[in-house]
Chain A
Amino acid sequence: MAQLTFREAIARGIAQEMRRDESVVFLGEDIGKAGGVFKGTVGLLDEFGPVRVRDTPISEQAILGAAMGAAMTGLRPIAEIMFADFFAVCWDIVVNEIAKSRYMTNGQMTFPLVIRSGNGGGLRFGAQHSQSVENWAMMIPGLKVVVPSNATDVIGLMAAAIRDPDPVIFLEAKALYATKMDVPDGEIVDTLGTAKVLRNGTDATIVSLGYMVPRALEAANELATVGIDCTVVDVRSLVPLDTQTILREVSATGRLFTVEENPRLCGWGGELSSIVSEEIFYDLDGPIVRITTPHIPLPAADALEDMAIPSVERIVTTITKSMNS
């Protein structure tokens, strides 16, 4: 057991898999010599050398195209897109090429690749370096989407993503990079498509993802002091989605609150609400409530950004109000 930050867990997860499998290669901007702009890949170049850990030019289409071409010919590339906002300049490769080609070729090709990216707000970077894009990725058939919320999950889910035979979008909450936890020693391998119940309650179920998970937990602790006992579920994987765990936990309390960092429209909680409404409607004791970033570009000023992203206070207030109405 060792204390590890979220950012250190990224390098550890990648290193664990690169040691195990020669076909795992890693490319991206400033990932090698610089160790990543968020220092999430420190040490990988030293250990694995420049043939396996390759710095690239600022060419997101080339980075992801290269990852795709390498994956279809036998490698297991990991590609970094520095900020998730930059998916917009290479979205064609992700959506039209990587996601569709297995289906279009009637299964002739597979794409065992991981695209990891710094996602979301909290660092006062402004609208073009702060957007939470998990809902973009979730809506594309052919992509798996993983969003860890803590260092241990980063390692285990990274390993699972690298070993998975399909393309995985691995979104790292930038606001969590500095968070620390005790991480078990030795190899850690998790399973995609498994949500985790982090807190058991009886009154309401809060379903959260990524950066919002620690806030949901903190809110649940506060709500407990006013007599509202909440279950907290960490979704972890949007595709595949562990609906069984979520439906079970919502059925048990009769209430669903989602806490989402993505902007309101077509956020992942909308899909979840639809599933819950269709499948366990009669288990609900009250309306489903989505707590999200408003449908706005994210502002830069700390005061404004804090108003936009769901805060512990907003989660507590919203749930209290809804539970007491």
Chain B
Amino acid sequence: MTTTTITAGPTDFETKLGMYRSQVALRQFEKRAYDLFLENLVKGTSHLSLGQEAIAAGFATAMKPTDWTYATYRGHAHTLARGVPMTPVLAELLGRSNGLMAGKGGSMHLTSVEHGVMGSYAIIGAHLPIACGAAWSAQYRGTDQVAVCFFGDGSTNIGAFHEALNFAAIWKLPVVFVCENNLWMEYTRTTEVTAVKHPAADRASAYGLESIIVDGNDADAVYDVAVTAIARARAGEGPSMIEAETYRHGGHSRADPGKYRPDSEVAEWLAKDPIPRYRARLLEAGATEEQLAAIEAEVAAEVEQATEEAKAGGIPGEDLLMKDVWADGGSSWRN
């Protein structure tokens, strides 16, 4: 088993700062999404990535713009990390016509094809085979694109996970599977319902893959494993699976306070919060307090502006209701 301890990260400082900015943006966006949920402006449900930002930021930084992201219903962070602006994402959460999908998808289905965000999937495990298909397409067409597929620890116990791993391995597909192991399935501890300790890494050998575990709260470490796995996929050497250990600061969804988790565990993981950690590292590496404060202020302003623009968005009109079931733009099933 490889437990990565390298924390080199991107070699140039600007990229490191960008990765910090990305994490701060994901954090502030998710906090705002939570507030808007409590105000009943975000309807339905919402699954936040608070605490898990380093994984999205680290991978997105290592990906080319032409690579593909496949995310789960906990997908705000992965969508934003690929460069999708905050306003359409927030407006989608609010069900507004200026939303990323004009309100037709909602929080759990964020998609922006032009940014390589090939969908957020809300049926556990379903998108692993779909990511294989995109990777197959890249392989067939001879492009160098790589599909990166994020999923939670709970996904490792569903059939599609195992079908996809085997399929990717036998076809040597350019796909990187990333398990965000936040220790809790929904309200149940994953180890209580899983035959092995490391839900993804301990299964890797069954598919001829290396077991890779990374500190998912360390953006540099995530970036490094991402670079290696993506390069391997691009070179035609096949899939990788990475288990990134992390923790969600909040509950599973909505306003779940996550009270089923012991206080000591929450405290332990809050102490490993990826963002203050990365901030301290940047300061040590020569960033100035003013530099980082400026980034934080910029992000805060961006969140404020996105909130205003999302709230000001229109209510989706009836013209959208019957649109785009079919490629011709319509929904007709008869003549």
Contact = CB atoms under 8 A, between A and B. Distances in A.
A239 interface: yes
Interface string A67-79: 1111111110100
B327 A102 contact: yes
A92 interface: yes
Contacts of A70: 133-134, 136-137, 140
Contact of A59 (B101, B166, B320, B328): B166
Nearest to B129: A65
Interface in B97-125: 100-102, 104-105, 109, 111-113, 118-119, 121, 123
A57 interface: yes
B38 interface: no
A104 B104 contact: yes
A25 interface: yes
Interface string B305-335: 0000000000000001001111111011111
A171 interface: no
Contacts of B325: 102-103, 141-142
A106 B130 contact: no
B118 to A, nearest CB: 6
A66 interface: yes
A273 interface: no
B50 interface: no
Interface stretch (B18-26, B156-164, B177-185): B156-164
Interface residues of A, number: 50
A182 B100 CA distance: 52
B138 A73 contact: yes
Contacts of B127: 65, 97
Contact of A57 (B105, B130, B167, B324): B167
Nearest to B323: A107
Nearest to A138: B333
A108 B329 CA distance: 11
A64 B131 CA distance: 11
Interface residues of B, number: 52
Interface in B197-224: none
B159 to A, nearest CB: 6
A225 interface: no
A62 interface: yes
A193 B102 contact: no
Given A51-B140, A92-B126, A106-B102, A241 B333 contact: yes
Contacts of A242: 334-335
Contact of A62 (B68, B166, B331, B334): B166
A243 B332 CA distance: 12
B259 interface: no
A325 interface: no
Contact of A74 (B123, B137, B147, B331): B137
A275 to B, nearest CB: 8
Contacts of A110: 327
B74 to A, nearest CB: 17
B294 interface: no
Nearest to A111: B327
A165 interface: yes
B147 A69 contact: yes
B48 interface: no
B195 interface: no
B126 A62 contact: no
Task: Identify the interface centre among A59, A96, A240: most chain B CB within 10 Å of its CB.
Answer: A59
B164 A62 contact: yes
B132 interface: yes
B143 to A, nearest CB: 9
Nearest to A100: B109
Interface in A197-240: 239-240
B241 interface: no
A106 B101 contact: yes
A97 B126 contact: yes
A58 B256 CA distance: 39
A243 B334 contact: yes
Interface string B280-324: 000000000000000000000000000000000000000010011
Contacts of B327: 102, 110, 112, 165-166
Contacts of A166: 326-327
A97 to B, nearest CB: 5
A93 B126 CA distance: 7
Q: Max chain A CB contacts within 10 Å: which of B118, B134, B171, B326?
A: B326
From A51, A54, A66, A244, residue with most partner B Cβ within 10 Å = A66
Nearest to B125: A61
A96 B126 contact: yes
Given A65-B128, A142-B326, 7 more contacts: A61-B129, A61-B160, A70-B137, A73-B145, A102-B325, A165-B326, A240-B333
Interface of A: 25, 51, 54, 56-57, 59-75, 77, 92-93, 96-97, 101-110, 112, 141-142, 165-166, 193, 239-244, 275
12 contacts: A59-B167, A65-B128, A65-B163, A66-B130, A69-B129, A69-B137, A75-B141, A102-B325, A106-B100, A106-B102, A106-B104, A239-B333
